[in-house]
Structure 1
Amino acid sequence: MTPLRRLLVLAVGVLLLGGVGAWSVLSAADRAEEENKPRPGGPAFTAGRVTLDEPGRLVFRNTAAGPQRDHLVSVQADRAAGSVRTASDLSCLRFHSAAGTGVCLQSTTALGRPAYRAQILDAGLRTVKSYPLAGIPSRARVSPSGKLAAWTVFVKGESYGTAFFSTRTSILDTRDWQLTPNLEEFAITLEGRPYRNQDVNFWGVTFATDDDTFYATLSTGDDTYLVRGSVRARAVTTLTRNVECPSLSPDGTRVAYKKRVLGTAALWREHVLDLRTLKSNTLAERRSVDDQAVWLDDHTLAYALPADTRPNSNDTWTVPADGTGTPKLLFEDGQAPPTPVN
């Protein structure tokens, strides 16, 4: 090949690569623009101050398409479906709050690569502390007093429904900022015997009011267990099997959870377990719920489900905790709310 021909081939290659690069950039921009378009008939927003301690309001993660997607918003609790949403500037992939303390699991970038962090927030959504995360955010919880926070991330895999996944669950004491980076460090008593195995995973922490006791899911082998743990003793004990993503009731007597149901269209069904008798009650929601439910009060649970006709969005539903009634839509385009402020 002559030098002139080589030069022509190089020039054509550069032009083609430039064209492909420009097309990729424009396509990405078009997709981003499409995702940022508000949905016709979707929720209305107003700018304003969002706080975690305002009585009568719910703060949650907005999932409606548009510039406020993933931002924390607040609405009137008694008319959550129709309220104009007050939007903050803070975005979270997972969020929970109680007693004026919030935990926000965020996506960010480090050296040009995806990265994640946990932000501990005060009542005004100001960051008090920040912690790097080892993987993709999955669950977040704050104790009723606001003194303890927990989060779970996927280190491998991206779903509890996949055959191969690994999680890491951390607990933080906001009084002295003592961090337990991995619950797998805790001593385990499984069905009455000390237990240790490399395949152990924890997720879905929920706290009691004593700022020590917690409940969580332990997975090992082919089983999942509800465990009761102590932060101070650094130990957990199994209570019963086939319990995932527990949520402790405000009165501390029951745990709402998702139960794996094989051979049915619904992979997980919502149940409530009586901690005194370990008897379980199936709730009226028959769809598969892959969420850690929230107790709005001692009688009502809220949880998120994928929106039927809106990709990448969730709707929040409620159902009675005693197994009666029918599911009701609380609001569209939003992840389940935190503990209400009274």
Structure 2
Amino acid sequence: MNRTARLVVLLVTALVLGGIAVGATLHAAGRAAEKDRQQAGGPAVTPGRVRLDDPHRALFRNMAWGPHRDEITAVPDDRLAGPRTSSGVRCLRFHASAGTGVCLRAVHGQLRDTYRAVVLDDRLRERRHYELAGTPTRARVSPSGRTVAWTVFVSGDSYAGTAFSTRTSVLDTRSWHLDANLETYALSIDGRRVHTADINVWGVTFADDDHFYATVATGGRTYLVRGDRTARTLRALHRNVECPSLSPDGTRIAYKKRVAGADPDAPWRLYVLDLRTLRETATGEHRNIDDQAVWRDDHTLVYSLPGDYGSDLWTVPSDGTGTPHRLVGAALAPAFIR
């Protein structure tokens, strides 16, 4: 064998061995990743068709690491920890009702990220989008699907302190009329108009297409307010209420309440307010809750707590009985289709 032939053989051998090594490495890495996922209890996620009008499915943002992280996924309503069907639609905050969805998402740019609110139809196709002035934090859709709302942090990134500013918008998806900032609504507390410059509004929850509840902060206090889109008014009902969530029967509000003696960085506990009597009930969840809870039904609350993947969903009865338990791991922003 001449010198040229030997070089060719050596080159071919090196390429073959290199390919085998790369293949073995990738195979081992894949097996290791799968093993890590199984050991960590990571859920099975596969792409497929997801709809917003299927009453037998629940929806949430998938938080498990992998190619489908942050995508809205669907699971059987009676088996939330079961296999997930991923939609391919990524959202930071999400909510849906009656075939309408709202997705608050990041738009990645070369210099910085921006944020956008996207209105989705029943097949998660974009209908319209709106640029956001800050970081997404809350999103809701009215029971009929006609009206949507979202809140962003314009400055600051936590409700725990006082150095933050929010902007909350409400959109009619029939007329596409946008109330871009609910701070322009007329606010009354104890029957008096309030005109202070420190007003913040966040955490809308809808009673119907034109009426809603939300949190207003001013003068160092927070209030539950009832909003009227037609009259453009906010009327305070009760103090020390944040991130309200109206029960399906419209009689109670689940909310975050600041409790005396708590850590200033973790001040909230989960309460329920009876709107007829204004009687407060502490739930069986005694940990700090920084979320806008969702009602799974008229008696059960679902909310997020930190988990191995960033967030898990937990549940507790709304009447103060029972103890909390983890409902599903690696999930955030649930929507239960009714």
Would the aligned equivalents of 2:71 and 2:89 in 1 still touch at CA under 8 Å?
A: yes
The amino acid that maps onto 1:227 is: V
Question: Quick one: distance in 1 between partners of 2:74 and 2:60?
Answer: 6
1:320 maps to: 317
Quote how far apart the aligned CAs of 1:283 are. Answer: 0.3
1:177 maps to: 176
The amino acid that maps onto 2:117 is: A
Any idea what SS the aligned residue of 2:113 has? strand
Q: Equivalent of 2:233, from 232, 235, 240?
A: 235
Any idea what SS the aligned residue of 1:217 has? strand
Question: Quick one: distance in 2 between partners of 1:300 and 1:340?
Answer: 15
1:251 aligns with 2:273: no
TM-score, normalised via structure 2 length: 0.87
Question: Quick one: distance in 1 between partners of 2:61 and 2:260?
Answer: 31
Structure 2 portions without partners, runs of 5+: 1-32
Question: Quick one: distance in 2 between partners of 1:199 and 1:120?
Answer: 30
Question: Quick one: distance in 2 between partners of 1:224 and 1:207?
Answer: 19
Quote how far apart the aligned CAs of 1:212 are. Answer: 1.1
Question: Quick one: distance in 1 between partners of 2:45 and 2:73?
Answer: 9
Quote how far apart the aligned CAs of 1:46 are. Answer: 1.4
**Aligned-pair RMSD on alpha carbons?**
1.6
Any idea what SS the aligned residue of 1:322 has? coil
Structure 1 residues 336, 92: CA separation in 2 closer, same or farther (over 3 Å shift)?
Answer: closer
Higher-Rg structure is: 2
Structure 1 portions without partners, runs of 5+: 1-35
Any idea what SS the aligned residue of 1:184 has? helix
Any idea what SS the aligned residue of 2:183 has? helix
Superimposed CA distance per residue, residues 71-94 of structure 1 (whole angstroms, 9 cap, x where no aligned partner): 10010111111x110011110000
Would the aligned equivalents of 1:59 and 1:72 in 2 still touch at CA under 8 Å?
A: yes
Any idea what SS the aligned residue of 2:336 has? coil
Question: Quick one: distance in 1 between partners of 2:260 and 2:160?
Answer: 11
Structure 1 residues 86, 154: CA separation in 2 closer, same or farther (over 3 Å shift)?
Answer: same
The amino acid that maps onto 2:293 is: A
Identity %: 58
Quote how far apart the aligned CAs of 1:109 are. Answer: 3.1
Quote how far apart the aligned CAs of 1:110 are. Answer: 4.6
Question: Quick one: distance in 2 between partners of 1:151 and 1:339?
Answer: 18
Matches within 5 A, 1:37-56: 39-40=37-38, 41-56=41-56
Question: Quick one: distance in 2 between partners of 1:215 and 1:66?
Answer: 37
Would the aligned equivalents of 2:141 and 2:148 in 1 still touch at CA under 8 Å?
A: yes
The amino acid that maps onto 1:287 is: R
Matches within 5 A, 1:26-65: 39-40=37-38, 41-65=41-65
Superimposed CA distance per residue, residues 270-321 of structure 1 (whole angstroms, 9 cap, x where no aligned partner): 00001111111000001111000001111111001111xx2x5100011111
Quote how far apart the aligned CAs of 1:339 are. Answer: 2.9
Any idea what SS the aligned residue of 1:169 has? strand
Question: Quick one: distance in 2 between partners of 1:150 and 1:159?
Answer: 19
1:158 maps to: 157
Quote how far apart the aligned CAs of 1:111 are. Answer: 6.0
The amino acid that maps onto 2:314 is: W
Matches within 5 A, 1:175-254: 175-209=174-208, 211-254=209-252
The amino acid that maps onto 1:136 is: T
Quote how far apart the aligned CAs of 1:54 are. Answer: 1.2
Any idea what SS the aligned residue of 1:39 has? helix
2:167 maps to: 168
Superimposed CA distance per residue, residues 40-90 of structure 1 (whole angstroms, 9 cap, x where no aligned partner): 430001121011111211011011111111110010111111x11001111
1:10 maps to: none
Superimposed CA distance per residue, residues 239-278 of structure 1 (whole angstroms, 9 cap, x where no aligned partner): 0110000001111111000101132255210000011111
Question: Quick one: distance in 2 between partners of 1:78 and 1:339?
Answer: 11
Question: Quick one: distance in 1 between partners of 2:135 and 2:228?
Answer: 26
Question: Quick one: distance in 1 between partners of 2:44 and 2:229?
Answer: 42
Superimposed CA distance per residue, residues 6-41 of structure 1 (whole angstroms, 9 cap, x where no aligned partner): xxxxxxxxxxxxxxxxxxxxxxxxxxxxxx997343
Any idea what SS the aligned residue of 1:273 has? strand
Would the aligned equivalents of 1:169 and 1:182 in 2 still touch at CA under 8 Å?
A: yes
